[in-house]
Amino acid sequence: MDTCRIPENASKCSGNTMECFMVLSTQAQKISIGILCGLFGTMCIFENSLVLYLIFSSPGIRKKPSYLFIGSLALADILASIIFVCSFVNFHVFNKAGFSKEVFLLQLGGVNTSFSASLSSLLLTALDRYISISRPSEYKLLMTRKRAWAALGVLWVSCATIAYLPLLGWNCCVLDSACSELFPFVDDNYLSGWVCFTVVLLGCIVYAYAHVLWRARQHVAYMEKHQAQAGKQNARMRMDVMLAKTLVMVLAVLTLCWSPVLALMIYSIFARLSDRLRKVFAFCSTLCLLNSMVNPVIYALRSKELLSSLRRVFSHFRRQLKASEESPEAESTHKSSVIET
């Protein structure tokens, strides 16, 4: 096992430096974390998988760039849930630390890639709404499926590159620098850079949504003055306003779930964390799963197209279930009629 310079407040640890980051000291804390991760992770995987199925099983929906970005968000949340739950529970609940530095940084890179891609997908969705509501006449020319796929490709490659920098050498073992108090082997400077990257993403999302809301209010005022003109333009405006409100709800949930984690990361860069704050950080990390779990619920409740697709899926499933229940009775009736004949 590689040895690095461990946090000063964890200097009482000896031997395996990974043990210094296992902050859950009681069985009740471990059980609580395990239950939260199991519940949030399972629901997140199920809900986001359903969103992906609804998007890509409906030709009319999957052709729209807006839903390609939402699909990317759902995929990122699924990957984040799987990798985060497996690695987090394995480390903090079962206290498994018998793997190498490379394996740990590989897992951490997967978690960072997924969560970064989730935020970046939300940014692309915000920019899509920004263009749609600020330049509606040019939207179809500016936001094509080809450009949407290209943007998603750049997004995932960039997020993966940034997330795996510690594995590629930017870690406190290779640089012989001070390690973060929150993550093993992670250099404090890298953590500062990742936090700045995340804050910039959130800032761009907030700016885009502020403009979207401003234009949405203008559209609402326009529609109130021109109620007689109930044509396609007004219908398009209503759709933009509805989707803008939906994504603002997503942003509000995102901010509430990520603020505690980012605040503690920033605090750890400038000050020393107590054992109690490190335990708080472990529990606050599960809020990221809660955010990923809530997003699909907002889509299902607010998006008429996804809701209609969901109803079609349920209707099809109900018909198949009804047919399977009736088929044995029909077969037995057919056999009895043959015997009588």
- Do 128 and 208 contact (CB within 8 A), yes or no? no
Mean confidence (pLDDT) of the chain: 80
The full DSSP string for 249-295 is HHHHHHHHHHHHHHHHHHHHHHSPPPHHHHHHHHHHHHHHHHHHHHH
Backbone angles phi, psi at 5, to 5 degrees: -75, 115
Greater confidence (21 vs 191) lies with 191
- Give the gyration radius of the chain's Cα atoms: 25
Q: Give the per-residue pLDDT at 48.
A: 92
- Do 1 and 18 contact (CB within 8 A), yes or no? yes
Q: Give rounded-to-5 percent helix, strand, coil for the chain.
A: 80, 0, 15
b vs e for 95-115, b when ≥16 Cβ sit within 10 Å of the residue's Cβ?
A: eebeeebeebbbbbbbbbbbb
Q: Give the per-residue pLDDT at 62.
A: 82
Percent of the chain with pLDDT over 70: 79
**76, burial (CB in 10 Å: exposed 0-12, middle 13-18, buried 19+):** buried
Tokens of residue 253, six digits: 């949930």
In the chain, what is the straight-line distance between the N-terminal and C-terminal CA atoms, in Å? 80
Architecture of domain 23-307: Up-down Bundle (1.20)
Nearest by Cα to 255 from 233, 288, 223: 288
Which alpha helices (H) appear in 17-164, and where do they start and end?
A: 27-56, 59-62, 65-88, 101-134, 139-142, 145-163
Q: Give the per-residue pLDDT at 337.
A: 45
The CA distances from residue 68 to 61, 64, 189, 322, in Å, are: 9, 7, 34, 34
Percent of the chain with pLDDT over 90: 23
Greater confidence (19 vs 287) lies with 287
Q: Give the per-residue pLDDT at 78.
A: 94
Residue 8, pLDDT above cutoff 60: no
Q: Which amino acid is at 242?
A: M
Q: Which of the four pLDDT bands, split at 50, 70 and 90, describes residue 11?
A: very low
Q: What is the pLDDT of residues 283-315, one digit of tens each?
A: 998 888 888 888 888 766 677 788 888 888 888
Residue 15, pLDDT above cutoff 60: no
The CA distances from residue 164 to 38, 157, 194, 216, in Å, are: 26, 11, 11, 39
Q: Give the per-residue pLDDT at 334.
A: 46
Q: Which of the four pLDDT bands, split at 50, 70 and 90, describes residue 112?
A: very high
Q: 25-39, 52-66, 134-148, 325-339: which has the minimum mean pLDDT?
A: 325-339
Q: Beta-carbon neighbour count of residue 228 at 10 Å?
A: 7
3-state SS assignment for residue 171: strand
- Do 171 and 190 contact (CB within 8 A), yes or no? yes
Q: Give the per-residue pLDDT at 330.
A: 47
Greater confidence (34 vs 11) lies with 34
Q: What is the pLDDT of residues 116-150, one digit of tens each?
A: 999 899 889 888 888 887 787 888 888 889 999 99
Q: Give the per-residue pLDDT at 13.
A: 45
Residue 52, pLDDT above cutoff 70: yes
Distance from C-alpha of 17 to C-alpha of 7, rounded to nearest angstrom? 10
Within its chain, how far is the Cα of 87 from the centroid?
Answer: 17
- Do 97 and 91 contact (CB within 8 A), yes or no? yes
Q: Give the per-residue pLDDT at 235.
A: 56
Q: What is the pLDDT of residues 63-99, one digit of tens each?
A: 888 889 999 999 999 999 999 999 888 888 887 766 7
Distance from C-alpha of 272 to C-alpha of 217, rounded to nearest angstrom? 45
Distance from C-alpha of 157 to C-alpha of 154, rounded to nearest angstrom? 5
Q: Give the per-residue pLDDT at 335.
A: 47
Q: What is the pLDDT of residues 165-216, one digit of tens each?
A: 999 989 888 888 878 888 888 888 999 999 999 889 888 888 887 787 777 7
